[in-house]
Amino acid sequence: MKRNRFDLSGRVAVVTGSGRGIGKAVALGLAEAGADVGLVSRTPAELERVSEEIRSLGRKAVAVSADLTKVQDIPHIVKEFVRAFGHIDILVNNAGINIPQEATDVTVDAWDRIMDINLKASFFMAQSVGREMIREGRGGRIINITSQTGSVALVKRAAYCASKAGLNLVTKVLALEWAPYGILVNAVAPTFIETELTKEFLSDPEFRQYALSKNLLKRFGTVDDVVGAVIYLASPASSLVTGHVLMVDAGWTAH
């Protein structure tokens, strides 16, 4: 019998920002593929609900409520997952925020908040998990959720674009440095994905028309579109892929 190339049985994944939206869908998708899952979010009630869903699939779930902008806490969070699971095979850096502002109106506080979670926390989470993966000697997968706006500009998103472009380049640097340890580092860069958090601006007729005008497939993404890309990069099917930014953008960046 041929092995399922997308089977994650026996693997342990950690997903940040996993209380809702894309992060929740990714955590559940990894569990459906066979992985046990560590969850990180700031909201305990959301984490508990996702944990229950993962356990209902017959997988183990461990939840840690934390603010990842407090980067000094990240090594302790990672150690907690290692104690619970024994090791970590997959990290999905999904936690992120966006504060749309005209460039003339961007505040220092907004800039710092975006950079602190989108770029700084993602790097130090990868660093801490990477250290564990190197110590364990098992290899691993690190997947950063970035954005199409890490490659192309979008109005009112100077700080957001900068944070995601930075994470794309961090992805490539980590791929270069950690390839000798069998750690593959990639990014998934989605277009606009329909979630509770994006509902307000995606329902604006003017913005919707603008966004779909750049979209070759003429539809916004769903969380399942992102889940499929993450499972591919987490699985044996992508064993020769590292340092890559996988665009899940309906062709937005093709022109």
Active-site amino acid positions? 160
Q: Residue 56, Cβ neighbours under 10 Å: how many?
A: 11
CB 128 within 8 A of CB 181: no
Q: CA-CA distances (angstroms) from residue 25 to 20, 28, 117, 182?
A: 7, 5, 20, 27
How far apart are the C-alpha atoms of 161 and 130, rounded to whole Å?
25
Alpha helices in the chain (DSSP H): 21-32, 44-56, 74-85, 108-115, 122-136, 158-178, 199-202, 205-213, 223-234
Find all residues with CB under 8 Å of 171, minimum gap 6, and list them. 144, 146, 185, 186, 187, 243, 245
Round to whole Å and give the CA distance between 113 and 249.
25
- Classify the C-alpha dihedral 200-206-211-216 as positive or negative: positive
Contact 171, 125 (CB under 8 A): no
Q: Are 39 and 19 in contact (CB under 8 A)?
A: yes
Rounded to the nearest angstrom, the gap between the alpha carbon of residue 141 and the centroid of all alpha carbons in its chain is 12
Longest dimension (CA), the chain: 61
For residue 76, give the H/E element and its range: helix 74-85
Neighbouring C-alpha atoms within 13 Å toward the C-beta of 15: 32
